[in-house]
């Protein structure tokens, strides 16, 4: 027997964006007036729905009247017509307590249970990509030259800023050389991976252990443990998970894996033939084929509730997680460089495709960046930024 919704409440998180669009005004053009007119439409952004939803003024007013906490009678929502209620229920912006709304109610309850700050939840949900390619975005496509960009947008902001006159600056002592200087000098984003060779299992394991592995596991209270890793983490909670696309690593079948941080072990998610795996790697990095050539892709995903458990509905919680992903990427660059390999990190990724492949729910766990590493190709065919000349001698790879 179906339980029909008798009570409703507003969804937990929704942002309404007034969005202006310009359209041709033929009547105005023919009448000698302005040829373009502006139209404002209201767009509701609700992370549990995941799609932009156009609403009208009556629906926006209803969302302002119906609260997100208390369940109220569906038939008497305080001056809101039944037609508006039914429309908002169908769009998932109102939540019903019956069977017909169970799926949307579960999504809404998941979002509430993770304790997102609303603005962070909206920013996260609506910046994710699905089946996108960088060449489709004119702002970042590699086929657009710097000259063209400057011609269209003007010169970039200054590369150096100053807050004092030169004679007021206090010079500092030159840095004392250490071993890390050589690593930092060789640190450069790799776009030329050796597709004919493999990555040995030892270096593969070394990188994972140093970059995302556990250095110590401490029981703070009975049943409550904390991890020590090689990078800082907000509240020492370490919410980041490591998922891998392994393409050419000795002793590891090509496929998808999860890295178990305390056991220093791979957990298989799916095995794939090399062709299908390469296609998936391309989707991961939004068609950046030079990154898809990496021997292993390391997907950094956040378990949001791990951080939000402590920092509930906190305005800085999401930012702390994103900063942590940056720390991980730099450690990958340094570790790979020290071992004579190349590395990269990119935010131009198809989060939705990755979530589907690894079985992740974006409201609870979602990728923030894709990193990659492996041996460099002996010759450079794609441009790399190596102004110090530490990696390449012309088009030839220097001895590492």
Strands 365-374 and 396-397: unpaired
CA distance 163 to 217: 45
Q: Is the dihedral of CA 270, 275, 281, 282 positive or negative?
A: negative
CA distance 388 to 158: 21
- Confidence (pTM): 0.92
pLDDT (tens place) for every residue of the chain, 400 residues total? 678 999 999 999 999 999 998 877 766 666 666 767 788 999 999 999 999 999 999 999 999 999 999 999 998 788 899 999 999 999 999 999 999 999 999 999 999 999 999 999 999 999 999 999 988 776 666 677 888 888 988 999 999 999 999 999 999 999 999 999 999 999 999 999 999 999 999 999 999 999 999 999 999 999 999 999 999 999 999 999 999 999 999 999 999 999 999 999 999 999 999 999 999 999 999 999 999 999 999 999 999 999 999 999 999 999 999 999 999 999 999 999 999 999 999 999 999 999 999 999 999 999 999 999 999 999 999 999 999 999 999 999 998 7
pLDDT at 30 (0 to 100): 66
Show the tokens assigned to 310.
């402590």
* Nearest by Cα to 264 from 221, 212, 318: 212
Query: Rounded to whole angstroms, what are the CA distances from 159 to 162, 166, 389?
Result: 10, 17, 21
pLDDT at 19 (0 to 100): 94
DSSP symbol at 185? H
Cα-to-chain-centroid distance, residue 6: 38
- The arrangement of secondary structure in 179-397, i.e. its CATH architecture, is 3-Layer(aba) Sandwich (3.40)
pLDDT at 39 (0 to 100): 86
Can you give the length of the chain in residues? 400
Domain boundaries, the chain: 7-114, 179-397
Show the tokens assigned to 60.
């926006």
CA distance 271 to 379: 31
- Residue 159, SS3? coil
CA distance 115 to 66: 21
Please, are residues 326 and 14 in contact by the beta-carbon 8 Å criterion?
A: no
Task: For the sheet with 72-73, list strands across it.
Answer: 72-73, 7-10, 94-96
Show the tokens assigned to 306.
């791990």
- 273's torsion region: left (phi>0), alpha (psi -120 to 50) or beta? beta
Tokens 């596991």 belong to residue: 217
pLDDT at 261 (0 to 100): 97
Residues 6+ apart with CB under 8 A from 264: 205, 208, 209, 213, 214
């Amino acid at each position: 027997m179906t339980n029909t919704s008798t009570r409703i409440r507003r969804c937990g998180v929704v942002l309404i964006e007034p969005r202006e669009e310009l359209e041709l005004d033929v009547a105005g053009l023919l009448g000698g007036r302005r040829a373009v007119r502006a139209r404002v439409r209201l767009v509701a952004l609700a992370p549990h729905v995941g799609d932009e939803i156009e609403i009208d003024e009556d629906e926006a007013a209803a969302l302002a009247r119906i609260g997100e906490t208390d369940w109220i009678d569906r038939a008497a929502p305080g001056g809101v017509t039944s037609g508006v209620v039914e429309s908002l229920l169908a769009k998932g912006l109102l939540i019903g307590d019956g069977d017909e709304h169970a799926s949307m109610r579960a999504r809404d309850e998941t979002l509430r249970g993770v304790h997102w700050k609303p603005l962070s939840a909206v920013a996260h949900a609506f910046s994710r990509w699905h089946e996108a390619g960088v060449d489709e975005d004119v702002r970042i496509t590699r086929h657009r030259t710097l000259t063209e960009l400057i011609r269209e947008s003007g010169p970039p902001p200054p590369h150096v800023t100053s807050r004092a006159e030169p004679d007021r600056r206090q010079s500092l002592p030159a840095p004392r050389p250490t071993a890390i200087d050589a690593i930092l000098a060789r640190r450069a984003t790799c776009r030329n991976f050796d597709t004919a060779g493999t990555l040995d299992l030892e270096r593969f394991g070394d990188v994972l252990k140093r970059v995302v592995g556990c250095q110590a596991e401490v029981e703070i209270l009975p049943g409550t443990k904390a991890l020590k890793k090689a990078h800082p983490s907000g509240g020492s909670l370490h919410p980041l998970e490591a998922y891998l696309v392994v393409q050419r690593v000795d002793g590891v079948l090509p496929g998808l894996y999860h890295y178990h941080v305390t056991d220093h072990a791979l957990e298989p998610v799916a095995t794939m033939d090399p062709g299908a795996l390469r296609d998936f790697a391309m989707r991961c990095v939004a068609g950046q084929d030079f990154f898809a050539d990496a021997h292993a892709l390391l997907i950094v995903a956040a378990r949001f509730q791990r951080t939000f458990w402590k920092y509930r509905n906190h305005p800085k919680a999401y930012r702390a997680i994103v900063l942590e992903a940056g720390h991980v990427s730099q450690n990958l660059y340094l570790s790979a460089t020290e071992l004579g390999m190349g590395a990269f990190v990119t935010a131009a990724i198809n989060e939705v495709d990755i979530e589907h492949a690894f079985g992740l729910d974006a409201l609870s766990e979602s990728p923030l960046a894709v990193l990659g590493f492996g041996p460099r190709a002996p010759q450079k065919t794609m441009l790399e930024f190596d102004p110090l000349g530490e990696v390449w001698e012309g088009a030839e790879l220097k001895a590492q």
